[in-house]
């Protein structure tokens, strides 16, 4: 009898704990979901339940109520960032209460643009993507291999990211050509949607005779627009550029530059998303020299975190070394996976 009572009490305690740990989400049509909030970004909230093999992907605009005692990184349209819990206000469902370190803050539900469950573990703060492309033509045995990869980590007040891309082409009676680029960046979030940025990037490019171009930059920027449809940011600062060439007779080249950049990320387009950026580098030590880097990436989401991507990259230099092209571009189609 005592053993039975203990079992019943244990089950009641376990059930109470599970109920307390569960998140809830009510949509505008009245349905209530109970489970676990994973994230909300690009105007879509990802919600996991125990009765479905796949996560629910719900338009953020259709969320009427939200409640969770888990810890999240939360970002608003005003650029405020919080690390705490989130729960709809009982008296006004258009507002949410965010509790951070015991402090209660109230925000409009419509002003929330980013939610990421992070708790304390390392993996929950990671993001990653990887895609590959391959083409072959019988004529001259032309083969081309391409890959693109990204890795990111988000902390409470900063984020860091790394990327590596490569394109390698080979064909009969022609010297193989390759193009490789990569970089590491760090961004620290400041009030009112401002941020400080530091990054290092490199480029190897046979078309422009670049054995290695390395660029280090330091600057600051602002998210001019950040909502549940798009991000648009601008930044400016200083950069140091160092170049070595595939032709051993050419001397290496160093220059101090300014930089200005624009970045646009559009994601509320169904399964489509667009990320494009433009960097312009006017030289401060080489009169009249201007470089620019342009990127355009379009992605179509498929099931199981797989996507189809189309990308275009353009590098321009109005004063290249002798015998090198002013510009080089790459157009890629690929299939990839993201975390």
Give the pLDDT score at 149: 92
Phi and psi at 19, nearest 5°, equal -65, -45
**Token pair listed for 107:** 């925000």
Residue whose C-alpha is closest to residue 37's, from 13, 61, 21: 21
pLDDT tens, residue by residue, 269-306: 778 889 999 999 999 999 999 999 999 999 998 887 88
Give the pLDDT score at 8: 43
Confidence of residue 124 (pLDDT cuts 50, 70, 90): low
- Contact between residue 47 and residue 55 where contact means Cβ atoms under 8 Å apart: yes
pLDDT tens, residue by residue, 59-79: 888 999 999 988 888 888 887
| Residue 50 or residue 249, greater confidence | 249
Q: Is the pLDDT of residue 11 over 50?
A: no
- Contact between residue 276 and residue 296 where contact means Cβ atoms under 8 Å apart: yes
Instruction: In whole angstroms, give the CA distance from residue 141 to residue 235.
Output: 44
Residue 86 exposure: Cα atoms within 13 Å on the Cβ side: 31
Terminus-to-terminus CA distance in the chain, angstroms?
A: 50
**Helix H or strand E segment including 82:** strand 81-88
The residue whose two tokens read 């019988």 is 138
Give the pLDDT score at 5: 45
pLDDT tens, residue by residue, 224-234: 988 878 889 99
Give the DSSP per-residue string, 196-265. EEEEEEEEEETTTTEEEEEEEEEEEEEEEEESSSEEEEEEEEEEEEEEEESSTTSPPEEEEEEEEEEEEE
Give the pLDDT score at 322: 85
Give the pLDDT score at 138: 62
Residues of the chain with CATH 2.40.160.40: 124-338
Kindly give the pairing relationship between strand 126-137 and strand 158-171.
unpaired
In percent, the amount of the chain with pLDDT more than 90 equals 37
Instruction: In whole angstroms, give the CA distance from residue 88 to residue 97.
Output: 6
Give the pLDDT score at 200: 96
Q: Is the pLDDT of residue 93 over 80?
A: yes
Give the pTM.
0.75
Between the alpha carbon of residue 180 and those of residues 147, 172, 293, 319, the distances in Å are 10, 22, 14, 21
DSSP 283: B
Q: In degrees, to the nearest 5, what angle opens at C-alpha 147 toward C-alphas 264 and 311?
A: 30
Give the three-state DSSP class for 290. Answer: strand
**Mean pLDDT throughout 28-44?**
87
Instruction: In whole angstroms, give the CA distance from residue 33 to residue 165.
Output: 40
Confidence of residue 268 (pLDDT cuts 50, 70, 90): low
Instruction: In whole angstroms, give the CA distance from residue 52 to residue 115.
Output: 22
pLDDT averaged over the chain? 85
**Token pair listed for 235:** 């930044």
- Contact between residue 316 and residue 329 where contact means Cβ atoms under 8 Å apart: no
Phi and psi at 43, nearest 5°, equal 70, 15
**Mean pLDDT throughout 116-124?**
69
Q: Is the pLDDT of residue 1 over 90?
A: no
pLDDT tens, residue by residue, 94-113: 899 999 888 898 999 988 98
Q: Is the pLDDT of residue 80 over 60?
A: yes
Give the pLDDT score at 221: 96
| Most confident segment among 49-58, 202-211, 262-271 | 202-211
Give the pLDDT score at 290: 96
Is the domain spanning 124-338 CATH 2.40.160.40? The answer is: yes
**Mean pLDDT throughout 88-92?**
91
Instruction: Give the sign of the dihedral formed by CA 75, CA 307, CA 272, CA 295.
Output: positive
pLDDT tens, residue by residue, 161-202: 999 999 888 877 677 778 899 999 999 988 888 999 999 999
**Token pair listed for 155:** 């902390």
Residue whose C-alpha is closest to residue 332's, from 168, 151, 152, 182: 168
Q: Is the pLDDT of residue 154 over 90?
A: no
Count of CB atoms situated within 10 Å of the CB of 145? 15
- Contact between residue 126 and residue 118 where contact means Cβ atoms under 8 Å apart: no
Confidence of residue 10 (pLDDT cuts 50, 70, 90): very low
Give the three-state DSSP class for 146. Answer: strand
């Amino acid at each position: 009898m005592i053993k039975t009572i203990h079992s019943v009490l244990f089950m009641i305690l376990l059930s109470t704990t599970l109920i307390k740990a569960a998140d809830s989400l009510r949509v505008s049509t009245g349905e209530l979901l109970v489970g676990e909030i994973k994230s909300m970004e690009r105007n879509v909230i990802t919600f996991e339940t125990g009765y479905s093999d796949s996560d629910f992907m719900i338009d953020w605009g259709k969320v009427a109520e939200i409640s969770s005692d888990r810890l999240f990184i939360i970002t608003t349209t005003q650029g405020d960032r919080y690390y705490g819990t989130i729960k709809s206000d009982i008296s006004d469902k258009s507002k949410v209460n965010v509790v951070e370190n015991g402090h209660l803050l109230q925000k409009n539900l419509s002003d929330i643009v980013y939610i990421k469950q992070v708790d304390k573990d390392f993996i929950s703060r990671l993001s990653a993507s990887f895609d590959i492309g391959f083409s072959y033509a019988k004529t001259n045995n032309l083969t081309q291999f391409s890959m693109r990869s990204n890795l990111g980590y988000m902390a409470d007040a900063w984020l860091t990211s790394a990327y590596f891309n490569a394109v390698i082409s080979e064909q009969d009676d022609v010297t193989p050509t390759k193009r490789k680029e990569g970089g590491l960046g760090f961004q620290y979030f400041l009030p009112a949607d401002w941020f400080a940025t530091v990054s290092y990037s490199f480029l190897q490019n046979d078309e422009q005779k670049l054995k290695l171009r390395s660029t280090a930059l330091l600057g600051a920027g602002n998210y001019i627009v950040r909502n549940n449809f798009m991000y648009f940011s601008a930044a400016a600062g200083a950069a140091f550029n160092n170049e070595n060439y595939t032709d051993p007779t050419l001397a290496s080249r160093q220059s101090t530059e300014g930089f200005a950049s624009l970045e646009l990320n559009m994601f509320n387009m169904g399964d489509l998303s667009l990320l494009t950026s433009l960097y312009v580098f006017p030289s401060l030590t080489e009169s009249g020299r201007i470089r620019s880097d342009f990127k355009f990436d379009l992605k179509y989401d498929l099931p199981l975190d797989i996507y189809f991507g189309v990308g275009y990259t353009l590098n321009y230099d109005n004063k290249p070394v002798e015998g090198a092209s002013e510009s080089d571009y790459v157009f890629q189609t690929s299939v990839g996976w993201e975390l």
